[in-house]
Amino acid sequence: MIVRRLLQRDSRHSVSRRALLGGLVSAGSALALGGCAGLGATGARFDASSLSVDPTLLVVTTRKPVNGRTKPWFGPERATSMTVARAKLVAPDESRLSLASVGLDDWRLDRIEPVSTDAGDLAAQAGAGDVLIYVHGFKQTFETAVLDGVHLSDGIKFRGRTMVFSWPSKAGLFDYAYDRDSAMWSRDAFERVLSALVSAPGGGRVHIVAHSMGTMLTLESLRQLYARYGDTVTSKIGAVVFASPDIDMDVFSSSIQRIGPLTGKITVIASTNDRALALSGQIAGGMTRVGAAEKATIARLGVRVVDASQEGWGIINHDLFLSNAEVQRVIRRSIDGTTA
């Protein structure tokens, strides 16, 4: 994603910008988002996240493995088969006098433990509770995608198993076309992931948060999933949050007409001052991206819309779902099945 890469040096050599943001947003925002007045006062109780208790998340990736079980684990090339793995994390020290308390410590990815290449094993790994799947966007390495999924899950205090679906991105500013094609190439694999989870007996609901270019992949996979299962899949899909969706408005409109009642599960987090999507629109021939459109324009399509235009304090405003406490409350309430 353009935001962090323009403003952040390699995490191996500098303090994580996400940790600094965490220190800043911990104070919270007193302002509610447009259409969500009173959200901060009436939001669900934020308990400890499951990751803070068991710092392990599931990873499904269509990237080609590199270097065996050592960093960077998976690269930008497309794999011949999908990999299911467990990501072992190191949580920041949250004690009163720790570096994390002043925003100078952060989550770290310690190791990857491959499980299988079969999406069918996911149900057993996920367990019986709800599952949160994070699908990353443009310009992401495997590691940054995993850590963004961690920050999202821990930020909203998700109680359940968290999974990251990572598709092949070259993580380069000028590799937009490759990333877009890789995302679309991965849609069948992601549909297999969703199918395995929704068809598992005794499984919980599947919640999805997709960012930027990952929303295009997610929407296409949901379209295929609905074509296979029809309305029977509705009760198994929980919240579907599209954060700063990098997708053409006409394509979005056409696709949501093909997913039946799943349309009612979608929440779009948009910002008219998202400069990353403004650039994406120029690359796409001047077509406005859904995440940068006016709220009323998106709402006419029958999805819930949160206008986050006033919530960002940066110059890009493309990753508010990770950097803004109020936006994270919107995601949490969507998962809890409540509205503001």
Which residue carries 């090339």 as its tokens?
77
pLDDT above 80 (res 165): yes
Give the pLDDT score at 172. 92
Q: What is the mean pLDDT of residues 29-46?
A: 34
- pTM summary value: 0.84
Q: What is the sign of the dihedral through the CA atoms of 329, 265, 251 and 139?
A: positive
Q: Are 194 and 122 contacting, i.e. CB atoms less than 8 angstroms apart? A: no
Phi-psi region of 81 (alpha: psi -120 to 50; beta: other; left: phi over 0): beta
Give the pLDDT score at 42. 33
Specify the range with the lowest mean pLDDT, choosing from 17-26, 112-121, 147-156.
Answer: 17-26
pLDDT above 90 (res 310): no
Q: Taking the mean position of all CA atoms in its chain, how far away is CA 25?
A: 19
The share of the chain scoring above pLDDT 90, in percent, equals 60
pLDDT above 50 (res 305): yes
What are the pLDDT digits (tens) for 321-332? Answer: 888 899 999 999
What is the DSSP track for 72-104?
Answer: T-EEEEEEEEEEEEEEEEE----STTSSGGGT-
What are the pLDDT digits (tens) for 257-272? Answer: 999 999 999 999 998 8
Residue 315's pLDDT band, with cuts at 50, 70 and 90, is low
Q: What is the mean pLDDT of residues 166-194?
A: 96
Give the pLDDT score at 96. 55
- Between 217 and 128, the higher pLDDT residue: 217
What are the pLDDT digits (tens) for 218-255? Answer: 999 999 999 999 999 999 999 999 999 999 999 999 99
Residue 126's pLDDT band, with cuts at 50, 70 and 90, is confident
Residue 14's pLDDT band, with cuts at 50, 70 and 90, is very low
Averaged pLDDT of the chain: 82
Give the pLDDT score at 83. 93
pLDDT above 80 (res 31): no
Q: What is the mean pLDDT of residues 288-299?
A: 92
pLDDT above 60 (res 97): no
- Between 313 and 34, the higher pLDDT residue: 313
What are the pLDDT digits (tens) for 73-96? Answer: 999 999 999 999 999 999 988 765
Give the pLDDT score at 223. 97
The stretches of the chain forming alpha helices (DSSP H) are: 2-7, 17-25, 39-42, 50-53, 122-126, 142-155, 176-185, 187-198, 214-229, 249-256, 275-283, 295-299, 320-323, 325-336
Domains of the chain in start order, with CATH, are: 2-336 (3.40.50.1820)
Specify the range with the lowest mean pLDDT, choosing from 129-138, 266-275, 308-317.
Answer: 308-317
Give the pLDDT score at 102. 54
Give the pLDDT score at 67. 75
Q: What is the mean pLDDT of residues 171-177?
A: 92
